[in-house]
Amino acid sequence: MNGIETSGTDHRARTGRSPRRLLVPTLLAVATLVLVLVLRSGDGSYRLHVKLINASQLVKGNLVEVGGLKIGTVDSIELADDNQADVTITVSDQKLVPLHVGTRAVVRSGSVSGVANRYIALEPGPNSAPALAGGGVIPASDTAASTDLDAVLSTLDADTRQRLQATIQGTDAALSQGGAAGMNASLKYLDPALSQIQGTLGELIADRGALERFLVASAGVVSAVADRSDDLSRGLSSAATTAGALASQRRALAEVLARAPDTLTGAGKTLDALAGTLDDLKPVVDLATPVAPRLSRVLTAATPALERTASVLPRVRTLLVPLRRALAGLPALRTSAVPALRAATEAIKVSLPIVSAARAAFPDLLLGATNGFGGTSGGSYDANGEYARIAFVSTSTPVVGTLANLFPPLPGSGTRWHNVARCPGGAGVLAADGSNRFDPGYACEEGNRP
């Protein structure tokens, strides 16, 4: 007994552990074992219920996979009280036991060559989420049914299916004639495009409310387009005709596209300058805004005149031909007309002093022929217009038989004699302001006036 106790004391001394300390890890191991037993069903399996809106032709024995690796099988498929498919699965891979909340289940098809070749692909939830106990449920919100190709094709009408079949056959013919290399080159660049499409679809799905509103609005647009199918058909035919015309002008189109960069560069500079011009015009537009209603009324009133102008334009068009001929002859006339006009200009410049000097004497020149014949008439004018001053003229010695002897001059009548050196314009009385005085530059007597 003493030896045994001594041995036990030596063992504790070597290990440094007491029985009380060994009890803690033992209890942890027992708790873990109990948890595993609770999570497992009575037969030692870990089963879950997967709720699906559509069982998608699943059958008992279909595989359950994660990342393409088998982790279990489908045990049974039943109809639940909520009219959803209740699929019981068994997970046999203990590395994944237990699964956690957030695990997704998607029904997929291995190929299109069979009917019952479906399987369930699991996407395990995060380990930080609560564990799914044995017999737990993956709700329908975290599942997705398989979409059958027949279901997609059944949404197409007969004409569309026929065209799709022709497209598939044409693709097969193209690949069988050496197009596989080009197809492979296209697939090389398809992966980035698909990734971008996946990101775009993710953004669309993120706002499902907006997506639903867009789909509803699109359905309305499609319905409106369907009601105008004849117009759409004619539009497509016109578009096809336009495309054919463009294809026939490929060379000219290529030349236009080749010039396009330089043209666009010049247009960019022009638009930049136009932007500054528009900034300068903004104050003018602001000032013109109050006038715009008046201008509208003016244009409305001018509409009848413009309509009548339309009938005049054909007549003007008929005058354009002779006018064009006349204008065509002007260059030939220029050689003779220009020198003549220059000579006439010089002649007018030279004659201006003569005309200016003769202007004041013009009444006397014009009426000089009447002097001595019945009297003297001098052309004069005032603010009321032109008027005539007539006086009888006779000699100092009466002559028998003449009209002048009947009216001899009376002494003291104010008659002035020997007015033979009158200045131009001297037939009129000198105005008080001297406005009708004219100095011709030669000897004349200003006092020789009536």
Are 44 and 146 in a shared domain? Answer: yes
- Pairing relationship of beta strands 69-79 and 85-91 according to DSSP bridges: antiparallel
Look at residue 12 in the predicted model and tell me its pLDDT: 42
CA distance 138 to 85: 12
Greater confidence (106 vs 177) lies with: 106
Task: List the structure tokens of 434.
Answer: 């001297």
The distance from CA 39 to its chain's CA centroid, rounded to whole angstroms, is 65
Q: Name the domain boundary from 113, 130, 150.
A: 150
Q: Is the pLDDT of residue 77 over 80?
A: yes
Average pLDDT of the segment spanning 85-92: 92
**297 CB-near residues (< 8 Å, 6+ apart):** none
Are 405 and 308 in a shared domain? Answer: no
pLDDT band at 352 (very low <50, low <70, confident <90, very high): confident
Look at residue 104 in the predicted model and tell me its pLDDT: 93
CA distance 134 to 49: 9
Look at residue 342 in the predicted model and tell me its pLDDT: 86
Would residue 30 count as lying in a domain? no
* Contact criterion met (CB below 8 Å) for 450 and 391: yes
* E strand spans, 242-359: none
* Contact criterion met (CB below 8 Å) for 66 and 122: yes
Look at residue 87 in the predicted model and tell me its pLDDT: 92
Look at residue 9 in the predicted model and tell me its pLDDT: 42
Collapsing DSSP to helix, strand or coil, 66 comes out as strand
Collapsing DSSP to helix, strand or coil, 307 comes out as helix
Average pLDDT of the segment spanning 401-407: 50
Which of 25-34, 94-103, 323-332, 371-380 is predicted with the least confidence, judged by mean pLDDT?
371-380
Q: Is the pLDDT of residue 83 over 80?
A: yes
Look at residue 130 in the predicted model and tell me its pLDDT: 92
Look at residue 152 in the predicted model and tell me its pLDDT: 76
Element (H, E) at 391: strand 385-391
Number of structural domains (the chain) is 3
pLDDT band at 329 (very low <50, low <70, confident <90, very high): confident
Q: Name the domain boundary from 130, 150, 170.
A: 150
Element (H, E) at 121: strand 118-123
Average pLDDT of the segment spanning 80-84: 89
Would residue 416 count as lying in a domain? yes
Tens-digit pLDDT profile for residues 202-224: 777 777 788 788 888 888 888 88
Q: Is the pLDDT of residue 450 over 70?
A: no
* Contact criterion met (CB below 8 Å) for 87 and 58: yes
Tens-digit pLDDT profile for residues 129-188: 999 988 899 998 999 887 777 777 778 888 888 888 888 888 777 777 666 777 777 777
Are 120 and 73 in a shared domain? Answer: yes
Would residue 11 count as lying in a domain? no
The distance from CA 73 to its chain's CA centroid, rounded to whole angstroms, is 60
Are 345 and 380 in a shared domain? Answer: no
CA distance 172 to 144: 32
Are 371 and 344 in a shared domain? Answer: no
Are 329 and 418 in a shared domain? Answer: no
* Contact criterion met (CB below 8 Å) for 88 and 80: no
**426 CB-near residues (< 8 Å, 6+ apart):** 364, 419, 444, 446, 448, 449
Look at residue 2 in the predicted model and tell me its pLDDT: 38
- Pairing relationship of beta strands 136-138 and 46-52 according to DSSP bridges: parallel
pLDDT band at 251 (very low <50, low <70, confident <90, very high): confident
Look at residue 143 in the predicted model and tell me its pLDDT: 92
Task: List the structure tokens of 37.
Answer: 């037993």
Would residue 19 count as lying in a domain? no
How many Cβ atoms from other residues are within 10 Å of residue 394's Cβ? 16
Measured between alpha carbons, how far is residue 319 from residues 88, 218, 298, 323, 381 in Å?
98, 59, 30, 6, 47
Residue with tokens 């413009």: 306
Collapsing DSSP to helix, strand or coil, 116 comes out as coil
Are 310 and 380 in a shared domain? Answer: no
Are 325 and 397 in a shared domain? Answer: no
Q: Of 42, 62, 43, 44, which Cα lies nearest the Cα of 52?
A: 62
Are 380 and 323 in a shared domain? Answer: no
Q: Which domain holds residue 324?
A: 290-353
Collapsing DSSP to helix, strand or coil, 72 comes out as strand
Are 46 and 135 in a shared domain? Answer: yes
Q: Of 94, 93, 92, 117, which Cα lies nearest the Cα of 107?
A: 117
* Contact criterion met (CB below 8 Å) for 138 and 48: yes
Would residue 200 count as lying in a domain? no
Tens-digit pLDDT profile for residues 256-287: 888 888 888 888 878 877 777 877 777 877 87
Tens-digit pLDDT profile for residues 10-53: 444 444 445 555 555 565 555 555 454 444 444 568 999 999 98
At position 149, the amino acid (one-letter code) is L
**348 CB-near residues (< 8 Å, 6+ apart):** none
Greater confidence (37 vs 361) lies with: 361
Are 368 and 395 in a shared domain? Answer: yes
Would residue 2 count as lying in a domain? no
* Contact criterion met (CB below 8 Å) for 386 and 380: yes
* Contact criterion met (CB below 8 Å) for 205 and 211: yes
pLDDT band at 88 (very low <50, low <70, confident <90, very high): very high
Q: Of 389, 383, 385, which Cα lies nearest the Cα of 364?
A: 389
Q: Is the pLDDT of residue 123 over 80?
A: yes
Are 324 and 365 in a shared domain? Answer: no
Which of 74-83, 308-317, 429-438 is predicted with the least confidence, judged by mean pLDDT?
429-438
Q: Is the dihedral of CA 83, 85, 90, 93 positive or negative?
A: negative
Q: Name the domain boundary from 91, 125, 150.
A: 150
Which of 7-11, 238-242, 337-341, 429-433 is predicted with the least confidence, judged by mean pLDDT?
7-11
Look at residue 278 in the predicted model and tell me its pLDDT: 76
Would residue 385 count as lying in a domain? yes
Q: What percent of the chain has pLDDT over 90?
A: 10
Q: Of 380, 398, 397, 402, which Cα lies nearest the Cα of 389?
A: 380
- Residue 200 burial (10 A CB sphere; 0-12, 13-18, 19+): exposed
Phi-psi region of 16 (alpha: psi -120 to 50; beta: other; left: phi over 0): left
Would residue 260 count as lying in a domain? no
